[in-house]
Structure 1
Amino acid sequence: MKKEDQFLGKHNAPKGNLEITGPQLFGHPKGLMTLFFTEMWERFSYYGMRALLILFMTAPIATGGLGFDDQTSGAIYGLYSMFVYLLALPGGWIADRIIGLKKSVWYGGIIITLGHFTMALPGLLALISGNHEPKGDLSGVDLYSFFLGLILIVLGTGLLKPNISSIVGQLYPENSSKRDAGFSIFYMGINVGAFLAPIACSTLAIYDWHLGFGLAGFGMLMGLIQYKLTGKYLEGVGDPVLPANEKESKQRSKLIKGVWIALALIGVIISLFFLGVFSIDPVGVAAISNTLIGIVALSFFLYVLFLGGLSPDEKKKVLVVMILFVFSSIFWSGFEQAGSSLNLFADRFTDRKVLGWEIPAGYFQSINSIFIILLAPFFGAMWVALAKRNLEPSSPLKFAFGLVLLGMGFLVMYFAAKIAASGDLAAPSWLVITYLFHTFGELSLSPVGLSLTTKLAPKKFVGQMMGMWFLSIAMGSLIAGRVAGGVSGGTAEALSQMPNQYLLIVYIVVGAGAVLMVLAKPIRKLMGNVH
């Protein structure tokens, strides 16, 4: 799970009184429970669908899947993950400028629900018709509902995800002693949803893939219902900023028209695609997108450094953000393989039989959440204890540790892949240990990333620098999907090469961590008074 979820919106609370006002539950605003369950169900829908996504794409048509090859499936998975993070930027902008945070969460949840139910449509039609037998070929309904559903989920998540965390921040007065605890409770909701979803949705997917997608949509629907029923506890927070004068009112009207025009254009493009006017090569689009993200990121940092009107001290800090952008992308390119290459490894090369019952591959997607719930308090206490002894590592060193630990996880996968390449099934413990190391890495790096970005960013570029952090995750997610197509062992040749592919990932990730360890002291000097 992404620890940056815990930090979103922390800098948006109202100033003034440190006391919490309004209805409370166990010393926290009751609105926190509204947001806790909304986010829990949203993450249930997201991670439930994600646990099935690449398995559904690569499953043979005869078993109800799409029958895509590994490269195409990995590219689609990567593009989907990328856009989830990219659209958080316009989603936050729409909330700030037009409809407010609360309505953004509401409308985003509705769009997500429609997306999941759209993906479930072929299964619902089969249920109505009474024909549950997998077809021997793909119909237009299968493909159209799949791609349209993904697009809707991406749009809805971009609208909901950044804004619900910001509302949490607004529930507490700035510098309130309970604020961090509130975010920790909220963050637990993320992991509870992410833990339950893969198990529940994968269980239904045994009978029909689309039932699993439908359950994910039902989860988001439950979140919407409770959000509406308990919305009274959010009164006074997350409302839109109304225009102060006629000039601002006209500007707002223009923005609204611009958004509708953009949505209309998206609708036209989607329609033309479905009508067969043009086709899209996911592998080619993924490659181009990687290049474009790199160019956009480099151009932005160069602009800020040379044309941003910054002081020498601010330029040094921006340079640190630029360096960490690169290492963050490398980390997420490995970590985000959980839902792609590691999910396929669980499906194809892991002995999942227990007492005659085969564990669904998607169950393994819950392991990271279990470890996060168990280990996050330990890591927090460890950093505090080290800080008291002046032994706490610097932020760049924590980043480096995260990369090395991630690499150790893929080293475990190297040995598991050797077993698979020899023709045997690997024990489930190989994946469990891999996810344990990856969780160690996430807890070392992820809490630092967004927090450090907000501290290092020049005041007039804070929002944009936060956008760059999410852009690094988007880039890493896209790379993860592309890499998954080559290390999934879908053919005999790919299977024989799989151990070496995992070993290459180890060299890249651990090598990046080692480089960052060497650079840690110079980077620490560039950071100045920021810790």
Structure 2
Amino acid sequence: MNSNITDTNDFFKDKVLGHPAGLFVLFFTEMWERFSFYGMRALLVLFFTASLFDEGWGWPREHASALFGSYVGLVYLSTMLGGYFADKIIGFRWAVVVGALLMTLGHGAMAVETPFFIYMGLGLLVFGNGFFKPNMTSIISEMYKNHQEKKDGAYTIFYMGVNAGAFFGILLCGYLGEKIGWSYGFGLAGIFMLFGLIQFWLAQNIFGDIGLKPKKEEQTKASTSEEDNDKRVPFSKGQLVLITICSALGILWILNDPAAKISEGAFNIFDFQMLGLEGNNFVILTALVLFLGLLIYRLTKYSQLTKEKLIAVTFFAFLTIFFWAIFEQSPNTLTVFAKDYTDRVLEGTSAYIFKVINTLIAIVPLGIITWVLWLLFKQTFAKYKWSNIILATSFVIVWGVTIWMISNEFKASSYNVTYSNVNGKTEEVKIISSEAYKENDVIKIKDIQSLSIYDQKEASNGNNKIENGYLIDGKGNQVGECLAAKVVGFSKEPKPGAFGTTVNNVDVVITNSLGESVSKKVKISSEEKGELNVGDEILVKIAHSIKYDLNQTSQTTATISSVNSAVEIPASWFSILNSLFIIAFAPLFSKWWESKYNPSANMKYGIGMFLLAIGMACVAFGANGIEPGAKTASVSIIWLILVYLFHTMGELCISPVGLSYVSKLVPARMIAFMFGVWYLAVAIGMKGAGKFGENIDKIADTEGISYFFWMLTIVSVVVGAISILFEPIIKKLMHGVR
């Protein structure tokens, strides 16, 4: 193939749906990358916070949120590094290959689930995303360089690939991770990333010269071909040193922040006090002040027109921080809310309706994408046979997993079972299983005990009381046994994945209802340990978590007393609603932006933040009845569905708009620097999402979890109001750009 293409018309000889076949190679490569990225991300916080009995790491939510925030923040920061290497050294195409390979290795490492491999996997994913993410769209831009009228349609098709990948990644990886095992979810993400890499590699000649290693003379030509005569403000050596210092401090902080929390201070490179601030806070504030000082100084050096446009971009970047900090609660606190505070078990007719809906939203999009795959085959199979075979194999696997998941869900039933617990008491519980049992069958279950100290806070709550060895809450529900125990000693055990730190235990002897003495270990905090001494008499609360014993290893037997059609919705399932709603509403919002009613940039941001506020208000209102300190609840799923509906509409107002205004307002020679500023704002927002999430337990314990979501609602309203109030000023600074 003659790849020396100047007008790009050759790309349009083999068309699929009116666009070059190469666009759909990128479509499927991006689809599998997003499948792996979002599939893994949906499981991350759930895996870290899952109990040891559920094969998770048993982390506090604060630690999981800290690591989550740093991970997603670094993903966006790494795009600047990947973009630089692609532009200057290896080209777009090799950057995509390197990124895909690093991400494949990263997902494979995470499937091992040991601390070393989990951290190594996250590191590989950060750098892999940095190389991959910014360069796929660069290839599309070059492909349509002389066909600007078709570029909007191309990006729309590509964006559908992004959302299709996110949808199926969360749906399938989330299901496998939660229902079968975490390593299966992480591993499936890696498998499809590998398929995307191989498919792209085998079909890369379809892009001609696009994305190959840049030639020095082309870079020189690009740098001297600008037509604007605006004032140049080159970076001085001192400014470059300042940028290096800011970058180093920021990266060290974003790495040290979760490490210090997870290790409980054992690993903290900023373990000092300065000006009344903890070292960690002092370092990041210093970096931000230095960077803002440099940014303000440089703004004063440009011409009045350029300076005002750059101030407008900076204003929108500031708003973007708050948008992402609140929107990215989806895989963090909203997923935790789905897991612990939402009634995800549906029975009878409602269960059947959900099973039908879940089937349709899985099969219909997959069928449409398979049809697009067939159209691509017809155009490219002769030239790129092996790439198409790899792509077909990946679809056979995804169809197989999807059909297996749907079949499993349709077989799921709820079983009320009775059994004798380890203390000899008869219990009646409900389990969900896809196995076919009938009434009076005897099955094996796991009776998992979770022990905690019944503290003064619970004892002073007038709604709680102890009757016949059971703890009764204010609604009359039994929330666990509460038995007398005697402290006989203290011990420690390794804490999984926490930089070699340990968990404190108090060793107690409990006298059960049969008069037997049973030795137990109760996990305690450092604060609780300081209040206890050997010989103390305490109350120990015992909560039971009953699971169907898939491996038939438990000696606990239970008798089935009744059967009903049921489904337990995975906590990660709700995150697929974002992609589903984007696909449904994106065309409507696109029509809105093209109409005479197209709002200004400030109004779009304001509307987006208000929609974000409405979403948070929905979940806050739904959680109103949850008492402070409660660790579980049964809120209706409707509130989470409404959250994702309003948040998606908010995203459609803000997310596609931001980068568009950077390209419109910033002079061509400065666009790389301002994109860097923009992605820095997004990274700060992502880390902010983790910071918000770190405080959910502290606020939930004192004020109630509803209070936490009301706080995010208020922040969203305030930011939206600021955007609208500043409209006259920003409109003037934009000088007619819409």
TM-score range (shorter-chain normalised) is 0.7 to 0.9
Q: 5+ unaligned residues in a row in structure 1: which ranges?
A: 1-13, 123-141, 249-261
Task: Tell me which amino acid in the other structure corresponds to 1:227.
Answer: F
* 1:484-505: CA deviation from partner (whole Å, max 9, x where unpaired): 1212x489715x4322221111
Match of 1:318 among 286, 290, 310: 310
1:500 to 676, 688, 707: 707
Q: Which of 569, 579, 582 is the matching residue for 1:372? A: 582
Q: 1:328 aligns to what?
A: 320
Counterpart selection for 1:302 from 270, 292, 296: 296
Contact 1:79 1:286 in 2 (8 A): no
Partner of 1:357: 567
Q: Determine whether 1:416 maps to 2:626.
A: no
2-structure distance, mates of 1:104, 1:381: 35
Matched residues in 2 for 1:75 and 1:282: separation? 16
Relative contact order higher in (CA < 8 Å, ≥ 6 apart):
1
Within-5 A mapping of 1:8-407: 20-122=11-113, 142-205=114-177, 206-244=179-217, 279-280=267-268, 291=285, 294-295=288-289, 297-307=291-301, 310-355=302-347, 356-385=566-595, 387=596, 391-407=597-613
**Distance change in 2, residues 1:371/1:282 (3 Å):** farther
SS at match of 2:148: coil
Residues 120 and 213, structure 1, Cα contact 8 Å, conserved in 2: yes
Contact 2:12-2:19 at 8 Å conserved across structures: no
Question: For residues 367 and 106 of structure 1, what CA distance do their matches in structure 2 show?
Answer: 30
Counterpart of 2:646 in structure 1 is 437
Q: Which residue of 2 aligns with 1:510?
A: 717
TM-score by length of 2: 0.60
Superposed CA deviations along residues 492-522 of structure 1, whole A, max 9, x for unmatched, are 715x432222111111110111121111111
Q: 1:288 to 1:38 in 2, by over 3 A?
A: farther
Contact in 2 for aligned 1:337/1:480 (Cα 8 Å): yes
Deviation at 1:180, TM superposition (A): 1.1
Q: List per-residue Cα deviations over 1:280-316 (Å, max 9, x = no partner).
A: 5899898578536633651342133024xx2101111
Distance 1:286 1:410 in 2: 30
Counterpart-to-counterpart distance in 1, 2:27 and 2:136: 9
Matched letter for residue 305 of structure 1: L
Task: Write out per-residue CA displacement over residues 197-227 of structure 1, whole angstroms, 9 at most, x where no aligned residue.
Answer: 1110112112211111001111101111211
CA distance in 1, matches of 2:653, 2:72: 22
Deviation at 1:466, TM superposition (A): 1.2
Distance 1:491 1:431 in 2: 20
Q: Deviations over 1:368-423 (max 9, x none)?
A: 000000000011112223x2xxx321111111111111111111121122133386
Do 1:75 and 1:282's aligned partners in 2 also have CA atoms closer than 8 Å? no
CA distance in 1 between counterparts of 2:646 and 2:343 reads 21
Instruction: Quote the Cα distance in structure 2 between the aligned partners of 1:497 and 1:452.
Output: 40
Distance 1:476 1:288, change over 3 A: farther
- The residue matched to 1:329 in structure 2 has which SS? helix
Q: CA deviation at 1:59?
A: 1.0
Alpha-carbon shift at residue 175 of structure 1 (Å): 4.8
Deviation at 1:71, TM superposition (A): 1.1
| 2:533 equivalent in structure 1 | none
Residues 415-438 of structure 1: CA distance to partner in whole angstroms, max 9, x if unpaired? Answer: 122133386411111011011111
1:500/1:227 Cα in 2 relative to 1: closer, same or farther (>3 Å)? Answer: same
State the one-letter code of the partner of 1:170.
Answer: E
1:75-118, Cα deviation, whole Å (9 max, x unpaired):
10000010000000010000111111001000110000000000
2:679 paired with 1:470: yes
One-letter identity of the residue aligned with 1:230: A
Higher share in strand: 2
CA distance in 1, matches of 2:8, 2:184: 49
RMSD, aligned CA: 2.8
Aligned AA (1:312): Q
Partner SS for 1:295: helix
CA distance in structure 2 between the aligned counterparts of 1:285 and 1:154, rounded to whole angstroms? 25
Q: Secondary structure at the match of 1:476?
A: helix
Q: Distance in 2 between matches of 1:348 and 1:416?
A: 14
Distance in 2 between residues matched to 1:189 and 1:289, nearest whole Å: 40
> What CA distance in whole angstroms lies between the structure 2 residues aligned with 1:185 and 1:118?
32
Distance of 2:268 and 2:110 partners within structure 1: 19
Which shifted more, 205-214 or 351-360? Answer: 351-360
Quote the offset at 1:243 in angstroms. 3.2
Deviations 1:173-214 (A, max 9, x none): 335321111111011000000011111011211221111100
Contact 1:347–1:361 at 8 Å: present in 2 too? yes
C-alpha distance 38-214 of structure 1, shift in aligned 2 (>3 A): same
Structure richer in helix, relative to its length? 1
Q: Which amino acid aligns with 2:267?
A: S
3-state SS, counterpart of residue 87 of structure 1: helix
296 and 302 in structure 1: CA distance in 2 versus 1, 3 angstrom threshold: same
Quote how far apart the aligned CAs of 1:459 are.
3.0
Deviates more, 1:417-426 or 1:219-228: 417-426
CA deviation map 1:465-491 (0-9, x unaligned): 11111111111110101111212x489
Secondary structure, counterpart of 1:392 in structure 2: coil
- Alpha-carbon distance between aligned partners in 2 of 1:492 and 1:26, rounded to the nearest angstrom: 51
Kindly name which structure, 1 or 2, has the bigger radius of gyration based on alpha carbons.
2
Cα contact 1:83–1:154 (8 A) shared by 2: yes
Mean Cα deviation higher: 227-236 or 346-355: 227-236
Give the whole-Å Cα distance in 1 for the aligned partners of 2:625 and 2:197. 45
| CA deviation after TM superposition for structure 1 residue 242, in Å | 2.3
**Aligned to 1:178, what secondary structure does the other structure show?**
helix
Q: Secondary structure at the match of 1:418?
A: coil
* In structure 1, distance between residues paired with 2:610 and 2:285: 26
CA distance in 2, matches of 1:82, 1:176: 33
Amino acid at match of 1:522: I
Corresponding letter in the other structure for 1:398: K
Give SS of 1:419's match: coil
Report the Cα distance in structure 1 between the residues aligned to 2:81 and 2:618, rounded to whole angstroms. 39
TM-score, length of structure 1 as denominator length: 0.82
Letter in 1 for 2:346: V
Structure 2: tracts of 5 or more residues without a match: 222-247, 272-277, 348-565
Using the TM superposition, name which of 171-180 and 20-29 deviates more: 20-29
Partner in structure 2 of residue 457 of structure 1: 666
Does structure 1 conserve the Cα–Cα contact (< 8 Å) formed by 2:8 and 2:144? no
Whole-Å separation in 2 of the counterparts to 1:444 and 1:290: 30
Contact 2:313 2:662 in 1 (8 A): yes
Structure 1 stretches of at least 4 aligned residues deviating more than 6 Å after TM superposition: 281-286
% identical aligned pairs:
36
Contact 1:39 1:223 in 2 (8 A): yes
Match of 1:520 in 2: 727
Q: 1:367 to 1:296 in 2, by over 3 A?
A: farther
> What is the count of residue pairs matched by the alignment?
468
Q: Aligned to 1:354, what secondary structure does the other structure show?
A: strand
How far apart are the structure 2 equivalents of 1:492 and 1:181? 46
